[in-house]
Chains A and B, each alone.
Chain A
Amino acid sequence: MFKKGKSKFSITVVFLMVALLLSACTSSEPSSQDTDGQSADGEDYDVEFRFLWWGNQDRHDRTLALIDRYEELNPHVKIHPEFLGFSDYADRLATQVAGGNAPDLFQMVDRWLPMYATRGQLADLQPYIDSDVINTEHINQSSLDPGYIDDELVGLSTGSNTFALVYDPDLFEEADVPVLEPGYTWEEFADTARLLAERLDMYGTYVDVNHARSFGHYLLQHAQWLYNEEGTGLGWEDEQLFVDFMNYWLDLEEEGVVPPADVVESANTIENYLIVNEQAPMQIIHSNQIVAVTNAADREFEMTILPSHENGNTGAYVRASMFFSMSPDTEHPEEVAKFMDWMTNDVEANEIIQGDRGVPVSSAIREHLYSNVERTVQQQFDYIDLIADYAGDVPPPPPPAGSELDDVFDRAFYNVLYKAMTPEEAVETYRQEKIDVINRQ
């Protein structure tokens, strides 16, 4: 009898321990998400929603300050922040959405918009503009355009961004080479790079391999684009365009004007950029990167537009730096939209943001900020103004598999640069892989 009792007892103990363990595991989860150090326990808010973004430390600090201020102004609102670096962002967002646990408000990139939008995971923001919850009085329609997919506004642009050629004016002066004025051609660009390389004993410029951006730019100059309007196939027919573009860089590499592929590959983060480390006086960047590039180099740079086609076609366009999107499942769509409006149109909010998410889309905010931001931010504002004179229509959004297609381009480009393929071979596999990827999506 005694033995029986004992074993019963021990079973109970073990089960209790298991239960305890399990509950300990599960209960520790939610609290770790509450990253602002405050606990929502015990306090009741009328409105609570989650905001997910990616960024560096500086953006995290600014955004947390932004949230604090908004909560102060709107005591009934509690915003739960979730943030991480860009490299972990895509799968975090995707798994949250897949798990039916999407954040109410989150940052988006243009190449992800179609993928999420076509699957009904992004709320249409147009009704909130129509009902004036989101004020667009000072916002140009062209700034909103990139956020439309199938006539629904699924992303509210956080700011404008575009490609730029950043250059080191001191090195140009040292080499006694005139700086490039808008309208210069690809040939003039190559000649300038040759001169600089020769006189400065460094590379003339970096090869722009990332995300098909300069190839897309080149295609636009020939009135073509990477993808067709519907995102169901390629938007360019002439293989010679790809071959010419590859040969342009390949020739410069053989002359030693641009670095060999292994250097290119190792110089793909801002801290390692050739221009930052005084290894080349020019490089193509996103205009909002000027802040980070200047900080990393601790020197001052200038920006101008990218090379043009001989017929004067620039192929330039202004894109949204990033978007704010709302989950269609949010419980408080009005409140989320209000917060978006505040970040877009409020002077105080933008003084906290300081143009970190791109040049503000509201002209009123731009005017207000211009005089009290640092020089690099002013450069961005100026550059967006400059490019407005040259920019054309925004090309159609990429197919839903946009990021994978970017990878396909990078691989094709590197295969050429590493001389594993000739441009003619690369264009074949590039086209085929792209079509495969689009078909498989």
Chain B
Amino acid sequence: MENVPVQGGKKRQVVETTLKQRTIRNNLIGYAFISPWLIGFIGIIVGPMLYSLYLSFTHYDLLSAPSWIGMENYINIFTQDPRFWTTLKVTFLFVFIAVPLRLIFALAIAMLMNMGFRGAGVYSLIYYVPSIIGGSVAVAVIWRQIFGREGALNHVLAWFNIEGYNWFAHPDYALSVLILLIVWQFGSPMVIFLAGLRQIPSELYEAAAVDGANAFHRFFRITIPMLTPVIFFNLVFAVINGFLTFTQAFLITAGGPIDRTLLYALYLYQNAFEYFRMGYASALAWILLLIIGILTALIFLTSKKWVYYESEGGKQGAQ
């Protein structure tokens, strides 16, 4: 490609071809540079995804070859699997409680950190640590220790003569304790909120103060509107991650007691690797993809109504 002859022809053409050539060359270099990612993306994400789409229409138990059964997996999921409905209920409950709580918590701490007291940096680091180690096995195990029957929480309760439960094995509390763990890992949205807060021009607050706005007004009239793009971003990520939550439930409760913490990703895993129903699990995965897709689209659609971009505002003002 580099050896295309450029002699002859009009001057403008020559300039155009060399330009074209240069773009192609530049693009090639670009592709070359991102090729590790590209190869990974195609090999590790796109390939398996397409394969799982195929598997979702087959009966495949890992041990013998997949056999085509058409829509049967999907039909079974919706008509013959009461646990599918249980897991949907649990997962939606989990996401709709954990996500708002987590974001509110993250914002509250971010605002605290933004007040600029001494050592705020150290505190943000401390608050951020649970998010880094949050998905890890160690934290899940420690969490189980704390809320177990002989755990730290019950020891504290014993001082007040309250007899505790094995919180993870109690149908009424197990999911709440899992939610608490997710909320506690508020570090990454907090850091993003913090960055967002620092972007808000201080003149806005000064002007508002001159006009006699109290803290309540300043928060709802300035902070929240200016922060909506960041809230939007955090919301989308938290919802997606919420639906994919696996490690904590897998390690701490294994879906128990009596399926009260049977999160979708966990049920999917059970089908694939414990019950050897890979085809069925693939169908479950695609249904999950659809659910997340629809919810994300909904958030995006409604975002026009509540997300405020300064640039947009500026443009509209100029027109």
Contact = CB atoms under 8 A, between A and B. Distances in A.
24 contacts: A8-B2, A14-B32, A18-B39, A95-B62, A119-B63, A119-B64, A261-B169, A262-B149, A263-B166, A263-B169, A265-B169, A265-B256, A266-B149, A266-B166, A403-B274, A404-B275, A407-B274, A414-B256, A414-B257, A418-B171, A420-B171, A420-B258, A433-B82, A440-B280
A97 B63 contact: yes
Contacts of B2: 4, 7-8
B258 A263 contact: no
A266 B29 CA distance: 58
Given A15-B32, A98-B62, A403-B274, A263 B149 contact: yes
Interface of B: 2, 25, 28-29, 32-33, 35-36, 39, 61-64, 76, 80-82, 148-149, 165-166, 168-171, 256-259, 273-277, 280
B36 A21 contact: yes
A119 B64 CA distance: 6
Contacts of B168: 266
Given A418-B258, A440-B76, 4 more contacts: A10-B32, A115-B276, A414-B256, A420-B171
Given A115-B276, A262-B169, A262-B170, A411 B25 contact: no
Task: Name, among B61, B63, B273, the residue most crowded by chain A CB atoms within 10 Å (CB to CB).
Answer: B63
Contacts of A120: 64
A95 B171 CA distance: 34
A115 B61 CA distance: 9
The 5 A-B pairs with the shortest beta carbon distances in the complex, nearest first, are: A91-B273, A265-B169, A262-B169, A98-B62, A14-B32
A84 interface: no
Contacts of B170: 262
Contacts of A420: 171, 258
A85 to B, nearest CB: 13
A116 B63 contact: yes
A7 B33 CA distance: 12
Contacts of A210: none
B32 A265 contact: no
Interface string A54-88: 00000000000000000000000000000000000
B273 A94 contact: yes
B166 A265 contact: yes
The size class of the interface chain A forms with chain B is 35 or more
Contacts of B33: 14
Contacts of A94: 62-63, 273, 276
A121 interface: yes
Majority secondary structure of chain A interface residues (helix, strand, loop or mixed): helix
A120 B61 CA distance: 13
Contacts of A4: 2, 25
Nearest to A22: B39
A340 B186 CA distance: 54
A223 to B, nearest CB: 30
B257 A262 contact: yes
A334 interface: no
Interface of A: 4, 7-8, 10-11, 14-15, 18, 21-22, 90-91, 94-95, 97-98, 115-116, 119-121, 261-263, 265-266, 401, 403-404, 407, 411, 414-415, 418, 420, 429, 433, 436, 440-441
Contact of A404 (B171, B259, B274): B274
B39 A411 contact: no
B284 to A, nearest CB: 13
A266 B80 contact: no
Nearest to B38: A18
B258 A10 contact: no
Contacts of B277: 440
A90 B270 CA distance: 11
Contacts of A97: 62-63
Nearest to A10: B29
B258 A411 contact: yes
A90 B258 contact: no
B25 to A, nearest CB: 6
Contact of B63 (A15, A98, A436): A98
A420 B171 CA distance: 9
A48 to B, nearest CB: 24
Contacts of B63: 94, 97-98, 115-116, 119, 121
A11 B2 CA distance: 12
Task: Name, among B36, B62, B148, the residue most crowded by chain A CB atoms within 10 Å (CB to CB).
Answer: B62
Contacts of B275: 401, 403-404
B18 to A, nearest CB: 11
B29 A7 contact: yes
Task: Name, among A21, A418, A436, the residue most crowded by chain B CB atoms within 10 Å (CB to CB).
Answer: A418
Contacts of B61: 115, 119, 441
Nearest to B72: A440
A418 B39 CA distance: 51
Nearest to A421: B258
A95 B278 CA distance: 11
A124 B81 CA distance: 36
A328 to B, nearest CB: 12
A25 to B, nearest CB: 10
B81 to A, nearest CB: 8
Contacts of A403: 274-275
A15 B256 CA distance: 49
B293 to A, nearest CB: 27
B20 to A, nearest CB: 14
B76 to A, nearest CB: 7
